[in-house]
A and B are shown apart, each in its own frame.
Chain A
Amino acid sequence: MAGMCCGVVGETETPSTVEPSGGRQARRRRMDIHQLKFLAAAAAASDVVVAPVPGSGRKRRKVQSLETIANNSVDAKVLTTPLECEKVVQQKEDGHLGSSSETVLYPCKSSSETICDVQSSRFGVTTVCGRRRDMEDAVAVKPSFSSDLHLYGVYDGHGCSHVAMKCKDRMHEIVKEEVENSGESLEWKETMAKSFSRMDKEVTEWSEGASGSNCRCELQTPQCDAVGSTAVVAVVTPNEIVVANCGDSRAVLCRNGVAIPLSSDHKPDRPDELARIEEAGGRVIYWDGARVLGVLAMSRAIGDNYLKPYVIPEPEVTVTERTAEDECLILASDGLWDVVSNEVACSVARMCLNSQKPPSPLRSPGNEVNVAGGESSDKACSDASILLTKLALARRSSDNVSVVVVDLRRNL
């Protein structure tokens, strides 16, 4: 599980160990007292939350009731160990890891504390195929990819998964180069726009030269032209959150309980996007929703060469000053956002971050940090990303679901 410790090796498989059945019993046992206490509140909550989404008035109501539950919670004590420390310690002592449970059990050694303080990145990743037959989502989590910067990316592919996979493998390297090239005069919007443009070029060139690849798209078009991916990339700096977005994946900031979208979906019927497409000579045709040329249900993407210049890889970039009230950042593919509103997602995530977890001796520590994405991560954030994913599946999301939750709280 070497990949576990550095969070850079995305391909690492998490052990899919199943707990011995006897152990699970006790996990339930310890909850019973709480269970009674919360029964009433929970019933109320589920009633409200379960209601089908649309209509902003209803969304608001849901949020409030979720918040009520949060406030009723006994204890808001937070349990988080900066994972980076463990990673660093582990790497230093081992070189490679025997098992992921070891990673977690390691105490935060003093030798690495400074690193923890400045650079810790606490996140949870969940990515599942869900009810689809193809997995086309890819998620990248790159803590400290460039000095004290962390990068998180969600890429939702279409046509095939290879563009999304390329983005996962390469985007952070490109951004790193662009950041380092610009040096003192770092201008985020420009840097991210350049990075996206380079990423797009790479996938185009790659698919032109791709022969012998065993993608399923190969049969459809020899040049793999009809393949692309959304990209929502968040670079978290000590003071800012930079979000660059192409397509309909989304980044939402949870600040003091309020959901603040940091990206705006590129749908073909968004008035400014519609105008841009038509100006470029393209058409938006309503065929199972608004689609560029009746084909693609988003107006910007990486790849999709055949839809240029209507579909462009140019990102919209937001730069947000970090504040003490920031709680978490949620990045997810439309598998989540189609069925869970920004507000509900934020409420769920912040409650996971705030709720105190009773000690769980019978859950092996490995299980607590391992999530479906195969990355190493933080317990509270993992819980949040898992719960959001399960909520999406519960609400009949028919797509792949990928969720990244990043803890932004500083005073831990």
Chain B
Amino acid sequence: MSVTPNRTAFMAQAMHADNPHPETFHRFFECWISEQNTYLEELVSAANNHNRDENDDAVLCPLIERVVGHYEQYYQAKSNWEKRDAISMFSPTWRSKLEDSFLWIGGWRPTLAIHLLYSKSGIQMEAKLGDLIRGLTTGDLGDLAPDQIKGIDDLQKKTIREERMLSDKLAKQQESVADRSMVELSNAVSEMIRNENDDAENEEEKVESTLDSKKDGFEELLHMADDLRLETLKAVIEILTPIQAVHFLIAAAELHLRLHDWGKKREEAHVAENLTSGPCGLHVS
């Protein structure tokens, strides 16, 4: 994916502009993801050049800060758009359907951070099991210290609790689509249509304000979910050593980028298939 030349300017605009077009976040996302790709390469090279003999935290820490800052930027921009159009942020057009199916309240499920950590840690651990058994340290994620395991376990329990709290909130929010005001309103408007009543104008205002209140609920949920996502990511990094954090961020970026690629590739293949052989191919061409 190529980086747009005026990226910096665009990012600035994306973060602050009052442009309400949903497409804009789509473009911001494309930019962001290409930047993530660049950061990934930086992380990989930092991991490869990492020398256990030399304390290179001075190199790693600023890089980690920048990568975390990049995530913060993403959530800042997302939050800005959520304020304008929370509903469309729930069904992002910038994601593939594959990614969509893994989403929870408009983004990744916060506990994924811990599962990702356990998976990557397991892979690195099994690669050096012999060393670890003899008490040698490997420094990577395979070598989580007791206090780190404890920290991760605590974080997981806390994250699950908060995820559940938000899931419950989401349930309430979704159930409210059939609350009294909505049923009353839908009935009133239906009656008017049936009676060909011209008074529909008045009702329209009511409809708007009722739907707006629903929207506000979703917006709040999105903010809370995004906060939890960022908070969890930072908490994981806080538990890890700098080089472990680099490995973790690599795994996170790789999973995110590849899932996005795979999803898009599938969709493109699907479209191509429909164009050539599908029944709707006739319509499209």
**Interface residue ranges of A14-40 to B (CB < 8 Å):** 14-19, 21-22, 24-29, 31-32, 34-35, 38-39
**Proximity bits, A374-395, B CB within 8 Å = 1, else 0:** 0000000011001101110111
Chain A contact-residue range equals 35 or more
**Interface residue ranges of A342-382 to B (CB < 8 Å):** 348, 351-352, 355-358, 363, 366-368, 370-372, 382
Find out whether the CB atom of A356 lies under 8 angstroms from the CB atom of B135. yes
Contact of A29 among B52, B57, B111, B152 (CB under 8 A): B52
Any A CB within 8 A of the CB of B130: yes
Chain B's closest residue to A400 (CB) is B153
**Contact A18/B133 with A367-B146, A391-B125 known, Cβ cut-off 8 Å:** no
Q: In the complex, what's the smallest C-beta–C-beta distance from A320 to chain B, in angstroms?
A: 26
Q: In the complex, what's the smallest C-beta–C-beta distance from B244 to chain A, in angstroms?
A: 8
Considering the chains assembled together, what is the distance between the CA atoms of A394 and B137 in angstroms?
Answer: 17
Find out whether the CB atom of A133 lies under 8 angstroms from the CB atom of B160. yes
Chain B's closest residue to A66 (CB) is B133
Most-contacted residue by chain A among B52, B138, B154 (CB, 10 A)? B52
Q: In the complex, what's the smallest C-beta–C-beta distance from B113 to chain A, in angstroms?
A: 13
Find out whether the CB atom of B122 lies under 8 angstroms from the CB atom of A69. no
Q: In the complex, what's the smallest C-beta–C-beta distance from A361 to chain B, in angstroms?
A: 13
Considering the chains assembled together, what is the distance between the CA atoms of A383 and B135 in angstroms?
Answer: 8
Any B CB within 8 A of the CB of A280: no
Find out whether the CB atom of B147 lies under 8 angstroms from the CB atom of A393. no
Complex contacts, B153 vs chain A, CB 8 Å: 128-129, 372
Any A CB within 8 A of the CB of B70: no
Any A CB within 8 A of the CB of B196: no
Find out whether the CB atom of A69 lies under 8 angstroms from the CB atom of B135. no
Find out whether the CB atom of A42 lies under 8 angstroms from the CB atom of B129. yes
**Interface residue ranges of B209-260 to A (CB < 8 Å):** 238-239, 241-242
Complex contacts, B16 vs chain A, CB 8 Å: none
Any A CB within 8 A of the CB of B144: yes
**Proximity bits, B110-141, A CB within 8 Å = 1, else 0:** 01000100100111011111111111111100
Contact of A393 among B121, B145, B241 (CB under 8 A): B121
Any A CB within 8 A of the CB of B22: no
**Interface residue ranges of A231-268 to B (CB < 8 Å):** none
Chain B's closest residue to A354 (CB) is B134
Considering the chains assembled together, what is the distance between the CA atoms of A27 and B52 in angstroms?
Answer: 9
Chain A's closest residue to B56 (CB) is A25
Q: Is the interface of A mostly helix, strand, loop or mixed?
A: helix
Considering the chains assembled together, what is the distance between the CA atoms of A394 and B207 in angstroms?
Answer: 53
**Contact A42/B121 with A27-B137, A31-B137, A390-B149 known, Cβ cut-off 8 Å:** no
Q: In the complex, what's the smallest C-beta–C-beta distance from B128 to chain A, in angstroms?
A: 6
Q: In the complex, what's the smallest C-beta–C-beta distance from B122 to chain A, in angstroms?
A: 3
**Contact A24/B241 with A42-B131, A135-B157 known, Cβ cut-off 8 Å:** yes
Any A CB within 8 A of the CB of B156: yes
Complex contacts, A15 vs chain B, CB 8 Å: 147
Find out whether the CB atom of B147 lies under 8 angstroms from the CB atom of A367. yes
Any B CB within 8 A of the CB of A126: yes
Find out whether the CB atom of B130 lies under 8 angstroms from the CB atom of A46. yes
Find out whether the CB atom of B242 lies under 8 angstroms from the CB atom of A21. yes
Complex contacts, A44 vs chain B, CB 8 Å: 130
**Interface residue ranges of A38-80 to B (CB < 8 Å):** 38-39, 41-46, 49-50, 66, 69, 73
Any B CB within 8 A of the CB of A396: yes
Q: In the complex, what's the smallest C-beta–C-beta distance from B228 to chain A, in angstroms?
A: 15
Chain B's closest residue to A377 (CB) is B146
Find out whether the CB atom of A128 lies under 8 angstroms from the CB atom of B149. yes
**Contact A371/B150 with A18-B238, A363-B145, A393-B121 known, Cβ cut-off 8 Å:** yes
List, sorted by A's number, 14 A–B pairs whose CB atoms are closer than 8 Å: A15-B147, A16-B150, A16-B151, A25-B241, A42-B130, A43-B130, A49-B126, A126-B149, A351-B133, A372-B146, A386-B149, A390-B142, A390-B149, A394-B121
The residues of A with any CB-CB pair to B shorter than 8 Å are 14-19, 21-22, 24-29, 31-32, 34-35, 38-39, 41-46, 49-50, 66, 69, 73, 126, 128-131, 133, 135, 348, 351-352, 355-358, 363, 366-368, 370-372, 382-383, 386-387, 389-391, 393-396
The residues of B with any CB-CB pair to A shorter than 8 Å are 52-53, 55-57, 61, 111, 115, 118, 121-123, 125-139, 142, 144-154, 156-157, 160, 238-239, 241-242
Further contacts, 19 of them, CB under 8 A, given A394-B122, A394-B125: A24-B139, A24-B241, A25-B55, A25-B57, A29-B53, A32-B52, A32-B53, A34-B136, A38-B130, A41-B130, A42-B129, A46-B126, A46-B130, A129-B160, A367-B147, A372-B146, A383-B135, A390-B122, A393-B122
